[in-house]
């Protein structure tokens, strides 16, 4: 592990990654080191132990995130309660409406549960354990609880920007888009990948990201919107002719794209010379 | 769908990937199943998938049927007739094509709807476990069936099984290759490796996978699971038209671990009020053949059985009922509608037509008591399955120390550890051993014994000797120095006679009397580290009392 001055020759900031995380000074940079030379005095700790230092830091650092998030969630709840006890609408205070009370109660539950997890995990870390499992659970739960709490607080404050503009809440990823946050984060990962047309695989460096890829697979394998059939036969009885016959008979509603260089049509559908030439658009049933 | 021959399939797959097609299905055979040349072609397909990100089903497969959107990308002749797909709660994945579709048609005949049928064939890319994982997310699917010849990625299979258990979708597996001959046949069929059967068995037990032995048990169980009803315990109420059939069913139930307990007096008295005096209200309950002429009788007896608090499932046993069968069918259907408990019918004789009507109405009906109770026993076992293994963390182990012992043996050209080295490896993982010291000579052994404290054992110590007692290499309960010196001399002589030239002895403090157990571990090529536990001692191979499980184990009850 080294400390390298930013103006050291050979060190270049290739780009500042445009991240949702706006809460860090300087942002997340991609750094390129080209023949950078530094002296012994730049070494932090012992040589060859950098990765270990970084990893030791990971568990507790997760908890500092959680503490920060808990603070933001707590502050959001306070703002919401302040708003709910002051704002009068349709003849009563917001806080007297059952649905608002439920939002506040749900926030209290999320806050209390987050706090309890933090206490327990930190005690585990203090006892010297690595606490991998507990820190993972805590980070996942508290980050999601934060989303829920702020979201509910926004519902209580309505369109007023004063919650969203509050400095505490501004450290949230994409705080300015908070009211829309829920929807966008849910759809972004899959949408992105599909739009790029990039690999959508079950394997990711040996790891298997289960639900996202599996759901994508489910949709693409079992719910395709178009089906091209390479080598499709005009004869509905032949092995390569049957699928089109079945698709028509059982009522498949998507596009059927026969690919057969020898024919103009296959079982009454216009055929394409090869898959590259298929437009998919002209074929509709 | 790629319907061209094997040698043209890779180019077609590349073209699909270039076009942005996300998933392809390759029909052609002529890949890993035919030998090295085909295997090279299959590797090429896998490479294309890895480089481009396209996913591939097959090759050597006959495609898939997904009922919701009528996606019938298959050439299976099972679709030659009809114009609607019998959708339902089952998702079925088969590595074998034609056999899979024959199971499909049997499912249809049994009135079991299938939402998705996927044949994975040679699994160059997508394997059965990955498809099953996707199906655990399919809201239309609540029961998973699989016909497997091999498991391509044990870790993925385990994750899938864990997920299926977590979401409460039972997974019924027929896994072939139990016999060595069967395992050989598998590799020439779809090019899979069958893997060690006992390991698969233990994985199934640990993760709640319902492994059955053939197509009929799979269908029987699927029929029951498809109703969505579950058993909370092993207790059956058996209602029969004939005393004999009731007894046969009861015998079969008890043999399968289910319970047919006599009702207590109060409930017997209530049942006696319902059935004719020549019947039996005990359980099994003989409702008598009067139920044919008095349609009401069966309904009232069933109502009482449904109300009985100690009943987890009801089995109705019927024989030749033809005339009047409509009323019986109706009474059974209505009773089934009134309860959430499993109600199954065993209809032994007759034409079979009423049984078909009942099956179509969603009341599982069997032609043989044995099959009905086997399915119920599996259902009861599913409810009673052990909790999923957690993954504990250990912070008191020292893998580096263990590695050093093994590296040292490797460096000496050995692939077996001697007992002392084994003890060092175990100690690195926090497993205690009786205190022991090595010695080269009788005098050295006596000195070691004095340091350890009597009584001691003297054992031959050599990496070349696996079974020590067969060589005469173990002397127990030695209480003084002369005895230790004598024993050492004899053990070393026995070793020399057996041609062991590097022998020393291990002097070890005697352990207190107790139960001997064996613990073992090995790296399974499919599933990774597997742990064995069982009765130990010199008769270990004879007794064969053992249990296998995937590491890591947590406290709980054994499986498999």
Beta-carbon neighbour count of residue A1 at 10 Å?
15
Same domain, A68 and A160: yes
Identify each DSSP E strand in B192-325 by its residue range: 210-212, 236-240, 285-286, 313-318
The confidence band for A281, taking pLDDT boundaries of 50, 70 and 90, is: very low
Q: Which residue, B357, B383, B409, sits at the end of a domain?
A: B383
What's the gap in Å between the CA of B408 and the closest CA on chain A?
25
Same domain, B264 and B165: no
Same domain, A2 and A30: yes
- Compute the CA torsion angle B443, B444, B447, B453 (nearest 10 deg): -110
Which residues in chain B have Cβ-Cβ distances shorter than 8 Å to A133?
391, 393
Q: Domain limits at A1?
A: 1-48
Give the 3-state DSSP-derived string for B280-317, with helices as H, strands as E and coil as C.
ECCCCEECCCHHHHCHHHHHHHHHHHHHCCCCCEEEEE
What is the enclosing helix (H) or strand (E) of B523? strand B517-524
Same domain, A155 and A63: yes
Same domain, A80 and A177: yes
Q: What is the pLDDT of residues B294-303, one digit of tens each?
A: 878 999 999 9
Which residues in chain A have Cβ-Cβ distances shorter than 8 Å to B396?
none
Which residues in chain B have Cβ-Cβ distances shorter than 8 Å to A129?
393, 395
Is residue B215 a part of any domain in this protein? yes
Is residue A244 a part of any domain in this protein? yes
Q: Are strands A269-270 and A265-266 parallel, antiparallel or unpaired?
A: antiparallel
What's the gap in Å between the CA of A274 and the closest CA on chain B?
8
What's the gap in Å between the CA of A181 and the closest CA on chain B?
25
Same domain, B46 and B179: yes
Q: What is the pLDDT of residues B109-153, one digit of tens each?
A: 888 889 999 999 999 999 999 999 999 989 899 999 999 988 888
Beta-carbon neighbour count of residue B66 at 10 Å?
25
Same domain, B241 and B365: yes
Gyration radius of chain A's alpha carbons: 28
The pLDDT of residue B242 is 85
Q: CA–CA separation, B488 vs B24, rounded Å? A: 70
Is residue A261 a part of any domain in this protein? yes
Helices (H), B453-557: 481-497, 540-543
The pLDDT of residue A213 is 75
Is residue B231 a part of any domain in this protein? no
The pLDDT of residue B501 is 81
Q: Cβ A215–B134 below 8 Å, yes or no? A: yes
A113: domain CATH number?
1.20.140.10
The residues pairing with A282 across neighbouring beta strands, listed in sequence order, are: none
Q: Which residue, A124, A156, A183, sits at the end of a domain?
A: A183
The total number of structural domains in chain A stands at 3
Is residue B388 a part of any domain in this protein? no
The pLDDT of residue B280 is 92
Residue B23 has pLDDT above 60, yes or no: yes
Same domain, A42 and A88: no
Q: What is the pLDDT of residues A69-127, one digit of tens each?
A: 899 899 889 888 888 888 887 788 888 889 999 999 999 999 999 999 999 999 998 88
Is residue A152 a part of any domain in this protein? yes
Same domain, A17 and A124: no
Same domain, A251 and A143: no
Say which of A133, A221, A275 has its CB closest to residue B23: A221
Same domain, A11 and A70: no
Q: What is the pLDDT of residues A146-194, one digit of tens each?
A: 989 988 888 888 755 555 556 556 555 545 444 433 322 222 222 233 3
Share of chain B above pLDDT 70, in %: 94
B456, B507 contact by CB (below 8 A): yes
Q: Which residue, B323, B352, B383, sits at the end of a domain?
A: B383
Which residues in chain A have Cβ-Cβ distances shorter than 8 Å to B74?
242-243, 246
Q: CA–CA separation, B211 vs B173, rounded Å? A: 5
Same domain, B182 and B211: yes
The pLDDT of residue A92 is 85
The pLDDT of residue A189 is 28
Q: Which residue, B224, B253, B268, sits at the end of a domain?
A: B224
Q: Considering only alpha carbons, which residue of chain B is nearest residue A221? A: B23
Same domain, B120 and B169: yes
The pLDDT of residue A30 is 86
Q: Cβ A214–B136 below 8 Å, yes or no? A: yes
Distances (CA, A) of B315 to B257, B283, B342: 15, 11, 9
Burial class of A204 by CB neighbour count within 10 A (0 to 12, 13 to 18, 19+):
exposed
Kindly write down the DSSP assignment for every residue of B54-91, as one continuous string: -EEE-SS--EEEETTTTEEEE--GGGSS-SS----SEE
Say which of A223, A246, A276 has its CB closest to residue B69: A223
Q: What is the pLDDT of residues B510-534, one digit of tens each?
A: 987 788 888 888 888 888 888 888 8
Same domain, A98 and A132: yes
What average pLDDT score do residues B215-233 get?
93
Is residue A100 a part of any domain in this protein? yes
Q: CA–CA separation, B482 vs B214, rounded Å? A: 64
Is residue B26 a part of any domain in this protein? yes
What's the gap in Å between the CA of B490 and the closest CA on chain A?
50
Is residue B392 a part of any domain in this protein? no
Q: Considering only alpha carbons, which residue of chain B is nearest residue A277? A: B19
What average pLDDT score do residues B54-65 get?
94
Q: Domain limits at B37?
A: 6-224
Same domain, A145 and A248: no
The pLDDT of residue A82 is 86
Q: Are strands B528-535 and B517-524 parallel, antiparallel or unpaired?
A: antiparallel
Q: Cβ B16–A228 below 8 Å, yes or no? A: yes
Same domain, B354 and B482: no
What average pLDDT score do residues B244-261 get?
93
What's the gap in Å between the CA of A185 and the closest CA on chain B?
20
The total number of structural domains in chain B stands at 4
Residue B59: name the closest of B33, B36, B82, B83 by CA: B33
List residues of chain A with CB under 8 Å from any CB of chain B: 129-130, 132-133, 197-202, 208, 210-211, 214-215, 217-218, 220-224, 227-233, 239-240, 242-243, 246-247, 249-254, 274-276, 278
What is the enclosing helix (H) or strand (E) of B13? helix B9-19
Is residue A192 a part of any domain in this protein? no
Same domain, B353 and B475: no
Looking at residue B547, what DSSP letter applies? E
The residues pairing with B315 across neighbouring beta strands, listed in sequence order, are: B238, B344
Share of chain B above pLDDT 90, in %: 53
Same domain, B153 and B111: yes
The pLDDT of residue A284 is 36
Q: Which region among A178-192, A259-273, B372-386, B523-537 has the lowest average model confidence (pLDDT)?
A: A178-192
The pLDDT of residue A131 is 85
What average pLDDT score do residues B76-95 get?
89
The pLDDT of residue B160 is 92
Same domain, A84 and A177: yes
Same domain, B117 and B62: yes
Assembly ipTM: 0.74
Is residue B183 a part of any domain in this protein? yes
What average pLDDT score do residues A11-15 get?
85
Is residue A198 a part of any domain in this protein? no
What is the enclosing helix (H) or strand (E) of B548? strand B546-550
Residue B442 has pLDDT above 90, yes or no: yes
Query: Average model confidence (pLDDT) for chain B?
Result: 88
Which residues in chain A have Cβ-Cβ distances shorter than 8 Å to B63?
243
Is residue B394 a part of any domain in this protein? no
Residue B29 has pLDDT above 60, yes or no: yes
Interface size A-B, in CB pairs within 8 Å, comes to 150
Same domain, B324 and B408: no
**Tokens in use for B204?**
């199934």
Same domain, A271 and A227: yes
Same domain, B343 and B379: yes
Residue B94 has pLDDT above 60, yes or no: yes
What average pLDDT score do residues B84-106 get?
89
Say which of B3, B68, B72 has its CB closest to residue A231: B3
Mutate to test the interface with A, among B7, B16, B22 (most CBs of A within 10 A): B22
Is residue B556 a part of any domain in this protein? no
Q: Cβ A224–B23 below 8 Å, yes or no? A: yes
B90: domain CATH number?
3.40.50.261
The pLDDT of residue A183 is 29
Same domain, B32 and B122: yes
B436: domain CATH number?
3.30.1490.20
The pLDDT of residue B554 is 64
């Amino acid at each position: 592990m080294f400390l390298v001055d930013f103006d050291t020759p050979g060190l270049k900031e290739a780009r500042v990654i445009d991240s949702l995380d706006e809460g860090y000074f300087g942002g997340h940079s991609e750094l390129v080191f080209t023949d950078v030379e530094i002296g012994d005095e730049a070494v932090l700790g012992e040589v060859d132990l950098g990765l270990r230092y970084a990893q030791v830091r990971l568990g507790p650092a997760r908890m500092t995130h959680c503490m920060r998030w808990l603070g933001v969630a707590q502050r959001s709840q306070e703002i919401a309660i302040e708003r709910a006890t002051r704002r009068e609408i349709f003849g009563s205070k917001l806080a007297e409406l059952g649905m608002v009370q439920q939002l506040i109660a749900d926030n209290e539950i999320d806050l209390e549960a987050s706090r309890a997890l933090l206490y327990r995990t930190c005690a585990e870390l203090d006892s010297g354990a690595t606490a991998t499992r507990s820190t993972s659970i805590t980070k996942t739960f508290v980050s999601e609880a934060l989303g829920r709490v702020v979201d509910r607080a926004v519902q209580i404050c309505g369109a007023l920007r004063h919650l969203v503009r509050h400095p505490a809440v501004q450290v949230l990823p994409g705080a300015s888009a908070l009211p829309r946050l829920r929807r966008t984060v849910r759809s972004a990962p899959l949408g992105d990948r599909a739009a790029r047309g990039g690999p959508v695989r079950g394997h990711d460096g040996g790891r298997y990201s289960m639900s996202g890829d599996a759901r994508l697979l489910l949709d693409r394998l079992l719910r395709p919107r178009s089906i091209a059939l390479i080598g499709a036969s005009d004869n509905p009885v032949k092995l390569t002719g049957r699928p089109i016959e079945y698709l028509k008979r059982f009522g498949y509603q998507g596009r059927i794209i026969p690919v057969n260089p020898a024919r103009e049509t296959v079982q009454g559908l216009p055929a394409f010379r090869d898959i590259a030439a298929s437009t998919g658009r002209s074929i509709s049933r | 769908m790629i319907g061209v021959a094997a040698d043209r399939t890779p180019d077609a797959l590349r073209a699909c990937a270039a076009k942005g097609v996300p998933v392809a299905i390759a029909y052609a055979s002529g890949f890993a199943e035919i030998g090295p040349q085909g295997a090279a072609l299959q590797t090429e397909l896998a490479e294309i998938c890895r480089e481009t990100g396209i996913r591939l089903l097959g090759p050597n497969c006959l495609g898939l049927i997904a009922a919701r959107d009528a996606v019938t990308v298959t050439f299976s002749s099972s679709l030659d007739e009809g114009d609607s797909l019998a959708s339902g709660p089952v998702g079925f994945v088969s590595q074998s094509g034609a056999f899979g579709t024959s199971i499909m048609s049997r499912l249809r005949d049994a009135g079991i709807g299938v939402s998705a049928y996927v044949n994975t064939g040679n699994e160059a890319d997508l394997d059965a476990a990955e498809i099953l994982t996707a199906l655990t997310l399919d809201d239309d699917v609540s029961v998973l069936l699989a016909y497997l010849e091999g498991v391509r990625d044990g870790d993925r299979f385990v994750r899938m099984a864990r997920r299926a258990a977590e979401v409460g979708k039972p997974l019924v597996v027929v896994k072939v290759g139990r016999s060595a001959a069967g395992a050989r046949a598998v590799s020439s069929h779809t090019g899979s490796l069958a893997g060690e059967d006992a390991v698969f068995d233990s994985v199934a037990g640990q993760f709640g996978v319902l492994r059955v032995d053939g197509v009929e048990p799979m269908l029987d169980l699927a029929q029951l699971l498809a109703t969505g009803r579950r058993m909370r315990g092993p207790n059956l109420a058996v209602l029969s038209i004939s005393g004999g059939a009731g007894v046969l069913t009861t015998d079969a139930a008890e043999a399968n671990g289910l319970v047919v307990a006599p009702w207590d007096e109060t409930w017997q008295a209530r049942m006696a009020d319902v059935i004719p005096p020549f019947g039996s209200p005990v359980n099994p309950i003989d409702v008598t053949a009067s139920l044919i002429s008095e349609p009401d009788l069966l309904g009232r007896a069933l109502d009482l059985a449904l109300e009985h608090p100690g009943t987890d499932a009801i089995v109705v046993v019927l024989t030749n009922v033809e005339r009047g069968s409509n009323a019986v069918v109706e009474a059974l259907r209505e009773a089934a509608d009134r309860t959430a408990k499993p109600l199954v019918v065993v209809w032994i004789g007759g034409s079979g037509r009423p049984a078909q009507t009942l099956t179509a109405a969603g009341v599982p009906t069997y032609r043989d008591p044995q099959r009905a109770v086997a399915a119920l026993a599996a259902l009861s076992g599913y409810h009673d399955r052990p909790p999923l293994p957690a993954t504990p963390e250990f912070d008191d182990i020292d893998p580096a120390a263990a590695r050093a012992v093994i590296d040292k043996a490797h460096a000496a050209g050995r692939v077996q550890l001697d007992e002392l080295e084994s003890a060092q490896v175990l100690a690195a993982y926090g497993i205690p051993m009786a205190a022991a010291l090595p010695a080269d000579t009788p005098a050295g052994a006596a000195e070691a014994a004095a340091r350890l404290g009597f009584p001691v054992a003297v054992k031959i110590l050599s990496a070349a000797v696996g079974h020590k007692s067969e060589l005469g290499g173990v002397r127990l309960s030695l209480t003084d120095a002369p005895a230790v010196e004598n024993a050492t001399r004899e053990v070393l002589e026995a070793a020399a006679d057996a041609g062991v030239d590097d022998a020393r002895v291990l002097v070890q403090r005697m352990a207190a009397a107790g139960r001997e157990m064996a613990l073992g571990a090995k790296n399974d090529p499919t599933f990774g580290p597997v742990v064995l536990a069982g009765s130990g001692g010199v008769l270990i191979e004879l007794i064969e009392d053992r249990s296998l499980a995937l590491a890591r184990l947590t406290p709980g009850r054994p499986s498999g």
